[in-house]
Amino acid sequence: MSSFDPQIVQDFLTESGELLSQLESDLVTLEQDPGDPEMLNQVFRALHTIKGSASFLSLTNLVKIAHAAESALNAARNRVVVIDREAMDALLKAVDLIKEQMGQLAQDAALSEPDDALVAALAALGEGKQKRAAAKPAAAPAAEASPAKPAGPALAEGDTPLVLGEGKKDLLEYLIGDLDDSLGKAREQAARLSDPSGFRDAASQLFDLADAIARSVDFFEVAPMTRLCVCLRNAAQAFGDASADARTQLAPRVGAIVSMLDSKTDALRKSIICGKSFGKLVERVEMLISGELPDAFLAPGATAADALALDTGASAESASGAAADSTADSDPATRDRPAPVVIPEPADSAPAPAGDARADKEPAKRAATPGGDHTIRVEVNRLEALMNLVGELVLQKNRIAAITRQMGSADNGTQEAREQMLLAASGLDRVTADIQVAVMRTRMQPLEKLFSKYPRLIRDLCGKTGKKIELVIEGGETEVDKSVIEELGDPLVHLLRNAADHGLELPAVRLAAGKPETGTITLRASHEGSHVQLLIIDDGRGLNRERIAAKAVERGLVRAEDVAALPDEEVFRFIFLPGFSTADKVSDLSGRGVGMDVVRTNIEKLKGLISLSSQQGNGTTVSITIPLTVAILPAMMVGVGDEVYAVPLNNILEIVKPDPASLSSIGGRSVMRLRDSVLPLISSADLFELPAEGVQTPFAVVLCMNNSRVGLLVTRLIGQQEIVIKPLDGVGTRGGAAGGATVRDDGGVSLIIDVAELIRMAQGRTNA
């Protein structure tokens, strides 16, 4: 693996990784409607692309499994087999294996050998054998192809033997199969180029095909063939916009290129590099592409053979002969599949539905992107750097704003200068805000990226639990910051598992309770202002209040006489505590009492909120609210003694100036009466290790997180500011209340108060 440029390998991993995760969710969708031709095509194409790239990198083991899966899908696409559960299991296993192999590739390890039984099962499907054949079908195509490469074939003049690396030899037949397949389709499309109504569509499909051919040809490292492919691709691209005259000249020549490629492929099959030169063909096509007319004209209605004759000097008969020849023996329908006795329609029409389905989609896509790609891949590091710079910009902007405010109040400077400065500062403010949003958006990704993994998860859970579960996903297009996506993955898996394992009942129980046999889990995402709300709703048995309450009493979290008075919400909240589980038995899915604690911690890390509501017998809803981004947040700056701290604004309920009479202490801890409730207070002395005397704290900031409230006593209120969170690395705080630091508008550093930690401290004292 190391023989390749790490960059190329990395590109392969990124691209194929994306394709693979899409593929996985598509497969699960496909299972719902195994005959959906569009979905079958999509899945097939993704797998084909992965295989193509892998073969370029000589990843033999990966290609083997991908090829087997691909042939199974091809059979399904041609309606020879139906993807049933068994077939789907095999396909998903193949996807798992490819994933594993890609992981190994990333670590530069050897790729694991595909399981023979799996390959055989897939290959059997590919041959149209629906029931698992016990024989060794995988060997069949190989045996069929081997006579094609006899030792020492007779070389024609100008031909050279094909020399391939060890790793590549195994792949030869796959690649030639691919080439034949693509070239066959290319020939069909090339013929349509002279059709006045269909030429645009044909050209666009030809472009795709040329791409596929180029990828296969790349593998053989035969420069002239690559040149032909590139020429074909460029011609296909230019064709749609070419003048009528140029089209008449170009169409037969495109056909000629395809024929040329055909005969060269034919030679490759015999392990020969065909030395046939293509004379002026490429040159003239290139002239046509660039808008010039060639120096040699073809009569209207000329065929590919005429073009070959004119441009290469080859005799028309031999060229068309070669083309016809390869049509006969290279069509994958006759090579890879058994005789089409079992196929209801003729083999030749098989690729047509695929082509039609593409035709619907591709031109639209191409029209939307006239000047090439509209997206580029950017390394995350660069975005991160950009984000940091924007953070700096926000801080500098804050400084400018602070200075402007000071100028406004000072007497120096003329009135006009001050106004100018204010204007400039507010302009800067606006632009900075826009840049911030724009940069943040580059880091945004749809939740779909995460959600697409879950249908598979639920499918597997169905198998393990014996339940029938339908997963409904809504709002996958909702975008959140990349870091949020990363942190959200584990909690969502936990919650979905919980819903499937604990929430939903077995089919029989559901029927007995008068509910539909299939349980539904809904995963819904939506934007709520600057937050994203995620709901995980199941229609299962709901949380058992009595059991949770009993467990809480047993663990001494609440007194038995108090528990009845607690609202449901607070009782349910106990399940977020570490080690709290009411499951009777620990399964390998859940029940260890770790999950919900981890979920809560992760969500709090994202400055998010989580809450639960449940109705016994009717299901549970978990609601998660998280900010769109975690890098920049609005905060209230407060002074404590001489120091300045930042408090996240989202967590501030209100700020009050308590009447000394409302302050008291219960059991040694200070509390405050706030209207008709009692609010625990945290004093600056405890939290900030400041001397208790001498620090005036006239204000109480009422903080709230997940329905727990606490009051923080402070000296001064300074004002709102957007702060950029910076990590406090290497300082080694002992779990203090500082959740990070930020740079103030005066350039100094302020610590950010970690509200979750503060509340934990307040509650810790409650229990003590």
435 versus 728: smaller Cβ distance to another protein: 728
Q: 753 with 712: CB under 8 angstroms?
A: yes
Contacts (Cβ under 8 Å, ≥6 apart) of 759? 703, 705, 706, 708, 709, 710
340 vs 639, which CB is nearer to another protein? Answer: 639
Q: Which of 212, 236, 204, 237 is nearest to 359 (CA)?
A: 204
470 — phi, psi (to 5°)?
-115, 130
Q: In the bound complex, what is the minimum distance in angstroms from residue 724's beta carbon to another protein? A: 9
Q: Report the nearest approach of another protein to the CB of residue 421 (Å).
A: 24
Query: In angstroms, rounded to a whole number, what is the distance separating the alpha carbons of residues 598 and 601?
Result: 5
The distance of closest approach from Cβ of residue 766 to another protein in the complex, given in angstroms and rounded to an integer, is 20
Nearer to another protein, 170 or 643 (CB): 643
Q: Cα–Cα distance between 611 and 570 in angstroms, integer?
A: 10
- Burial (CB count within 10 angstroms: exposed 0-12, middle 13-18, buried 19+), residue 2: exposed
580: which 2 tokens?
Answer: 């709290």
**Contact criterion met (CB below 8 Å) for 55 and 67:** no
CA–CA separation, 462 and 517 (whole Å) = 13
| Cα–Cα distance for residue pair 478/532, rounded to 1 Å | 8
* Cβ proximity of 442 and 411 under 8 Å: no
Beta carbon nearer to another protein, 591 or 641: 641
Question: Of 514 and 694, which CB lies nearer to another protein in the complex structure?
Answer: 694
Toward another protein, which CB reaches closer, 624 or 741? 741
The first and second tokens of residue 268, run together, are 């490759």
Which amino acid would we find at residue 301?
A: G
Q: How far apart (Å, rounded) are the C-alpha atoms in residues 262 and 182?
A: 10
Evaluate whether 721 touches 638 at the Cβ level (below 8 Å): no
CA-closest candidate to residue 572, choices 596, 605, 591: 596
Q: Is the Cβ of residue 47 or residue 737 nearer to another protein in the bound state?
A: 737
Choose between 462 and 743: whose C-beta lies nearer to another protein.
743
Neighbours of 419 (CB within 10 A): 11
The minimum distance between CB 424 and another protein, in angstroms, equals 23
Q: How far is the CB of 726 from another protein (least distance, A)?
A: 5
Q: Is 608 helix (H, G, I), strand (E, B) or coil?
A: coil
Shortest Å distance, C-beta 443 to another protein = 19
- In the complex, what is the shortest distance from the CB of residue 743 to another protein, in angstroms, rounded to a whole number? 5
What sign does the CA torsion over 565, 571, 573, 579 have? Answer: positive
Cβ atoms 210, 236 nearer than 8 A = yes
At closest approach, how far in Å is the CB of 388 from another protein?
7
CB 644, min distance to another protein, A: 8
Structure tokens at 542: 């709901």
Q: Which is nearer to another protein, 275 or 639 (CB)?
A: 639
Report yes or no: 542 and 498 within 8 Å, Cβ to Cβ. Answer: no
Nearer to another protein, 140 or 728 (CB): 728
Nearer to another protein (CB atom), residue 313 or residue 578: 578
How would you label 726-759 residue by residue, b for 16+ Cβ within 10 Å and e otherwise?
bebeeeeeeebbbbbbbbbbeeeebbbbbbbbbb
Please name the helix (run of DSSP H) or strand (run of DSSP E) that holds residue 521, with its range, or none.
strand 519-528
Report the alpha-carbon distance of residue 218 to residue 390 in Å, rounded.
43
Residue 190 in tokens: 């090339």
Q: Is the dihedral of CA 597, 602, 604, 610 positive or negative?
A: negative
Name the minimum Å distance from CB 188 to another protein. 59
Compare residues 388 and 518 and give the one whose CB is closer to another protein: 388
Residue closer to another protein, measured from CB, 528 or 689: 689
Q: How far is the CB of 530 from another protein (least distance, A)?
A: 24
CA atoms of 46 and 19, how far apart (whole Å) = 6
Q: Give 130 or 388: the residue with its C-beta nearer to another protein.
A: 388
CB closer to another protein out of 660 and 764: 764
Q: Which of helix, strand or coil describes residue 565?
A: coil
| Closest to another protein by CB, 548 or 743 | 743
Q: Kindly write down the DSSP assignment for every residue of 654-700, as one continuous string.
A: EEE---GGGEEEETTEEEEEETTEEEEEE-HHHHH---STT----EE
**Pick from 71, 181, 86: which is nearest to 128 by CA?**
71
Give the span between the Cα atoms of 433 and 452, in whole angstroms: 32
Minimum distance between the CB of residue 597 and another protein, rounded to whole angstroms? 16
Which helix or strand (DSSP H or E) is residue 645 part of?
strand 643-648
Closest approach, Cβ 594 to another protein, in A, equals 18
Q: Are 206 and 232 in contact (CB under 8 A)?
A: yes
Structure tokens at 228: 């032909």
Binding residues for another protein, per CB under 8 A?
388, 391-392, 395, 643, 687-689, 726-738, 741, 743, 747-751
